[in-house]
Amino acid sequence: MRWLTTGGLLVLLVLASTSAGAQSTSAILEGALELESRLLDRDLERYGATRRAGSEGLERLRTLVRDLDRAFSDPAADVEVLRRREVELAVARQSTQALLEESATQRRTIYARMERITELEADLSAARDRETEEQGVLDGTWRVTLDEVGITGVFDLEVDGALVTGRYLLSTGARGSLRGTLGGNRLELQRIDAGQGFDAVLRAELESDADGLVLSGSWEMLEVGGGAPAAGRWQGRKIAE
């Protein structure tokens, strides 16, 4: 996405969100948009202060020019006084010019910030539309296989925003509930066994192939006994309704 290359702060926000766990693209974009909006408010405040200082500088310049002209009209004017006024005018002119240039730089920053906000709003709208479609795709029944242990089963999943809930039944007879998040095409689930409680984490990416929709990723047990594998791969294929 374009906005990922427009500022280091946005990149850091995305990296931080990614490291914190599964998070939807729209949530990351909302955070980036909120950040840019706050930065725009800050930029506008700074620009207002610079413009006020510039206006005061311009008024100071007009006053010094009038005083110098008035001094020149005095036949008894002292040359040293005139020179001091000339120096004051030059210093004021230089200071005011610097403020005007700073104002122009700040305006360019504000224009760029506004453009980024417009891009983020467009990306956010597209991400929300895309996630709505993905959420509808994930809803339903999935036939799953846990490699390494040769266990099969069924997941019934429901999606509400970025939150995923569901139930599962495995070929071993184990059953329970599922809860997790969907971020873009990345799914993360916690498995809560009916007897043992929270006992595994499953991660996968939602993809499609010639036969339909597929979940493919890794699983990890929280407690392992009897020499059973502690982690492995798993796949899920959506059962056509």
Q: Answer yes or no: do 177 and 223 share one domain.
A: yes
Q: How far apart, in whole angstroms, are the C-alpha atoms of residue 145 and residue 180?
A: 19
Q: Answer yes or no: do 111 and 151 share one domain.
A: no
Q: Give residue 152's domain range.
A: 139-238
Q: Answer yes or no: do 124 and 144 share one domain.
A: no
Q: How far apart, in whole angstroms, are the C-alpha atoms of residue 217 and residue 222?
A: 17
pLDDT score for 225: 53
Where among 106, 133, 160 does a domain terminate?
133
Q: Answer yes or no: do 166 and 112 share one domain.
A: no
Where among 100, 133, 166 does a domain terminate?
133
Q: Answer yes or no: do 91 and 144 share one domain.
A: no
> What are the tokens at 145?
């296989």
Q: Answer yes or no: do 70 and 115 share one domain.
A: yes
pLDDT score for 241: 66
**HSE-CB for 54 with a 13 A CA cutoff:** 15
pLDDT score for 134: 65
DSSP string, the chain: -GGGGS-HHHHHHHHHHHHT----HHHHHHHHHHHHHHHHHHHHHHHHHHHHHHHHHHHHHHHHHHHHHHHHT-TT--HHHHHHHHHHHHHHHHHHHHHHHHHHHHHHHHHHHHHHHHHHHHHHHHHHHHHHHHHHHH-EEEEEEETTTTEEEEEEEEEETTEEEEEEEETTS-EEEEEEEEETTEEEEEEEETTTEEEEEEEEEEEEETTEEEEEEEEEESS--TT--SEEEEEEEEPP-
Per-10-residue mean pLDDT, the chain, length 241: 44 44 73 96 97 95 92 86 92 95 97 96 87 76 91 93 92 95 88 91 88 90 63 90 66
Q: How far apart, in whole angstroms, are the C-alpha atoms of residue 231 and residue 208?
A: 24
> What are the tokens at 163?
């939150």
Q: Answer yes or no: do 168 and 153 share one domain.
A: yes
For CA atoms 225, 227, 230, 233, give the dihedral sign: negative
Q: How far apart, in whole angstroms, are the C-alpha atoms of residue 188 and residue 204?
A: 7
Nearest to 158 by CA among 144, 185, 140, 182: 140
Q: Answer yes or no: do 96 and 205 share one domain.
A: no
Q: Answer yes or no: do 33 and 95 share one domain.
A: yes
Nearest to 120 by CA among 22, 48, 183, 39: 39
Q: Answer yes or no: do 63 and 98 share one domain.
A: yes
Q: Answer yes or no: do 121 and 146 share one domain.
A: no
Number of domains, the chain: 2
> What are the tokens at 131?
């996630």
Q: Answer yes or no: do 111 and 156 share one domain.
A: no
pLDDT score for 178: 97
pLDDT score for 21: 46
